[in-house]
Structure 1
Amino acid sequence: MATDRYLSERAALYVPFFSFIVLLCAVILLLPYETVYIRDRTYLSMFLVVIVLSVFVFSIGTLYNFLMWMRGKGMTTTPERRLIGFAKLAIGSLAHGRLVKATRTLLKDALYLSKLKDRSVSRWFMHLMILGGFIFMFILDLIVTFSLDVLRYQPMIDETGWAKLWLRDFGFDLVGFMMLIGLVMACIRRSILKPKIVRTELPDAVSILFLLAVVLGGFILEGMGIAGGIPGHDQNVEYSFVGYAFSLMMPASSGDWYDAVWLVHGVMSALLIAYIPFSKLFHMIATPIAIELDRMMIDKGGSA
């Protein structure tokens, strides 16, 4: 009987979870990607294989983290059952008007990092640039992808469309520049200033260098596209202000390598997605959410 209940609890979690992953990967593979600027679609196919694998690793890593948080001394229920309970509680609470409070908690503690600001303004600003830039880039990427490949929103496609200029060109450069500022500050702080309270361990260095490589790679790619006159990068280039600055240091022949560099940048970005659940970046975002959910569970009297 206990075995049957255990299996049913696991099935209740894992069947919907893996079904969602399969659906998400199918959507990624089926999108048309007609506005991707590369000329050789073979590079796109290789990238899609990597991004699907990365999404799978990200999903498994995220689930693993949450299951670890569900473990504890004296717990009489399985982590799977507790996680399902938390999910139901979160959905129910949001449906009953706690969405505003949950959003406020997320913005204040996970994005704005209000507690860190009280301890050190410089550290707060550095983390805000990195984390805020990363989150806004993710949101912007979702909006742009949905507008291009699902809605076929013309102002996002046209070279002179307001959405293309202000979201795809200026918007991505702005949030990328935010991340670059924060990452440079982190490198200086850990390699030059070296305050006593900071211990730079291997995971910290890997996270910073990984993010820095992806951000710089994006600007280098954009600069190559502008310098080489690649379609999509050959008009109103001043909106891509960082990429344009990079293009001034590149010859027109750099556009010949655009497709190959696009693939390298895309693969690195995909690998970064896979790495997120195993980095501090994930815990900075997820921990305030978990604390709020735990508080909601206690308020309901279901902390067991």
Structure 2
Amino acid sequence: MPGGRYLKDRIGLYLLFSAAILTFSVAVLVLPYETVYVESRDGLMLFLAVMIACVFVFLLGTMYNMLIWMQGKGLVGAPERRLLRAMSVALKVVVSRRFWKALGVFAKDGLYLSKLKGRSRLRWFMHLLILGGFALMFVLDLVVTFSLDILRYGPMIDEDGWAKMWVRDFAFDLAGLMMLVGLSIAAVRRFVFRPKIVRTELPDAVSVVFLLLIVLGGFVLEGMGLAAHMEDHTVNHEYSFVGYLFSLATPPSVSEFYDEFWLVHGVMSALFIAYIPFSKLFHMIATPIAIEVDGLVSKEVSGA
């Protein structure tokens, strides 16, 4: 029965969605967070609750976008069924030799933006800094969280550890600086020079300003910790080269408000994650992936 098969596909898709949310929620709640610098556990729990809710919205928005793509012109079959097939093909690619080729396509078109490079060097460089910094920070977050809260890796914890200095301090500052420069270029183009080819609509302005505030807030937060010589902020300041500059203009007394500022920064970051599927940033990254996956699905169907 077509109706029964359609219902089965929908149930399967939403079960996967629910499993993803449940897995993320459990992972978030069981981590010890021993290296988080906030003293208020209530503030930490509030942030985690907001983060889980925002990831729920992110996954829901992502699924919505993918279902819309699966309703494209010329596509046959229920969008849920096509999406499940695409996910199945993508999983097969991940565990096959084709993974590195697919990863190369994503890196070239999704992160390096090779097609944009030929049209405008400035736009390409700007987006490369923003997306590259964003991707680097995402990877660093995963590595640091796994190293600190699961492995309890000593060099990542000790203030003199090589991983603490080069990964938690230097690499994070580098990623943040990349985003800060890219977003500053975007802001100047959109709000100062305003070239005719750039149409600044409200969602574009919100994305640039909101992300710029998040990046600046991260450096201000780091500067507060360095200025007050908080835990893990007492030595080797030169590795946090951007945060150190912010600390020079930060009086140590502001550390009294560190917990509140950390919570505001964390909630803003979580809200931006929820907003990603509804922004141009998502389509810029996801479109090359969707094209590659669609090609793989077509090859599998034709070869069947």
Give TM class, smaller chain. over 0.9
Change over 3 Å in CA distance of 1:162–1:96 after alignment to 2 = closer
CA distance in 2, matches of 1:128, 1:75: 32
2:100 corresponds in structure 1 to 100
Answer yes or no: is the 8 Å Cα contact 1:207–1:279 preserved in 2: yes
What is residue 293 of structure 1 aligned with on the other side?
Answer: 293
Q: How many residues were matched structurally?
A: 303
Question: After the TM superposition, which of the residue ranges 289-298 and 160-169 deviates more from structure 2?
Answer: 289-298
1:176 corresponds to which residue?
176
State the shift of 1:232 in Å: 1.6
**Letter matched to residue 129 of structure 1:** L
* Distance (Å, rounded) in 1 between the aligned partners of 2:275 and 2:24: 18
The alpha-carbon distance between structure 1 residues 184 and 263, as it changes in their structure 2 partners (threshold 3 A), is same
Residue in structure 2 matched with residue 127 of structure 1 by the alignment: 127
Find the counterpart in structure 1 of residue 146 from structure 2: 146
- Give the Cα–Cα distance (whole angstroms) in 2 for the partners of residues 201 and 248 of structure 1: 37
State the AA in 1 paired with 2:70: M
List per-residue Cα deviations over 1:206-243 (Å, max 9, x = no partner). Answer: 11011101000000011111111211212211111111
Instruction: Give 1:74 shift.
Output: 5.0
The residue aligned with 2:226 is 226
d(CA) in 2 for partners of 1:286, 1:238:
36
CA distance in 2, matches of 1:17, 1:61: 11
- Partners of 1:65 and 1:97 in 2: CA distance: 28
Partner of 1:32: 32
Q: Which amino acid aligns with 2:109?
A: D
Matched residue SS, 1:150: helix
Structure 2 CA distance for aligned equivalents of residues 126 and 206 of structure 1: 17
Moved more, 85-94 or 239-248: 85-94
Query: Is the counterpart of residue 257 in structure 1 residue 257 in structure 2?
Result: yes
- Bigger mean CA offset, 294-303 vs 116-125: 294-303
Give the Å deviation of 1:93: 3.5
Specify every segment of 5 or more residues in structure 1 that has no aligned partner in the other structure, as ranges.
none
In the TM superposition, residue 302 of structure 1 has moved relative to its aligned partner by 5.1
Note the C-alpha offset of 1:91: 2.3
Q: Report the equivalent of 1:15.
A: 15
**Runs of 4+ deviating beyond 6 Å:** none
CA contact (8 A) 1:38 1:259 kept: yes
> AA paired with 1:196?
K
- The whole-number CA distance in structure 2 between the counterparts of 1:299 and 1:75 is 14
SS at match of 1:166: helix
Q: Which residue of 1 aligns with 2:241?
A: 241
Task: Classify the secondary structure of the residue corresponding to 1:33.
Answer: coil
Distance across 2 between alignment mates of 1:266 and 1:94: 32
What amino acid is the match of 1:111? L
Structure 1 residues 223 and 75, CA gap change in structure 2 (3 angstroms): same
The CA deviation at 1:299 is 2.7
Contact kept? 1:130, 1:182, Cα under 8 Å: yes
- 1:161 alignment partner in structure 2: 161
Residues 137-174 of structure 1, C-alpha deviation per residue, up to 9 Å, x if partnerless?
00100100010001111111111111111111111111
In structure 1, distance between residues paired with 2:220 and 2:93:
45
Partner of 1:65: 65
Q: Deviations over 1:179-224 (max 9, x none)?
A: 0000000011111121111100011001101110100000001111
Task: Normalising by structure 1, report the TM-score.
Answer: 0.96
Output the amino acid matched with 2:262. Answer: W
Cα displacement string for residues 59-90 of structure 1 (whole angstroms, at most 9, x for unaligned residues): 11111111111013454411100001111222
Q: Following the alignment from structure 1 to structure 2, what is the Cα–Cα distance between the partners of residues 20 and 125?
A: 34
Taking a change above 3 Å as real, the CA distance of residues 94 and 158 of structure 1, as seen in their structure-2 partners, is: closer
Separation (CA, whole Å) in 1 of partners of 2:24 and 2:54: 12
Residue 97 of structure 1 deviates from its aligned partner by 1.9
Scaled by the length of structure 2, the TM-score of the pair is 0.96
In structure 1, what residue type is equivalent to 2:299?
Answer: D
Q: 1:141 to 1:75 in 2, by over 3 A?
A: same
Distance 1:20 1:297 in 2: 23
Higher mean Cα deviation, 145-154 or 91-100? 91-100
Once residues 205 and 47 of structure 1 are traced to their aligned partners in structure 2, the CA distance between those partners, rounded to angstroms, is: 26
Q: Secondary structure at the match of 2:97?
A: helix
Q: In the alignment, is the contact (CA less than 8 A) between 1:147 and 1:153 conserved in 2?
A: yes
Q: Deviation per CA, 1:88-143: give whole Å up to 9, x if none.
A: 22223344421121011011000101111111111111000001000110010010
Question: What is the root-mean-square deviation in Å for CA atoms of aligned residues?
Answer: 1.4
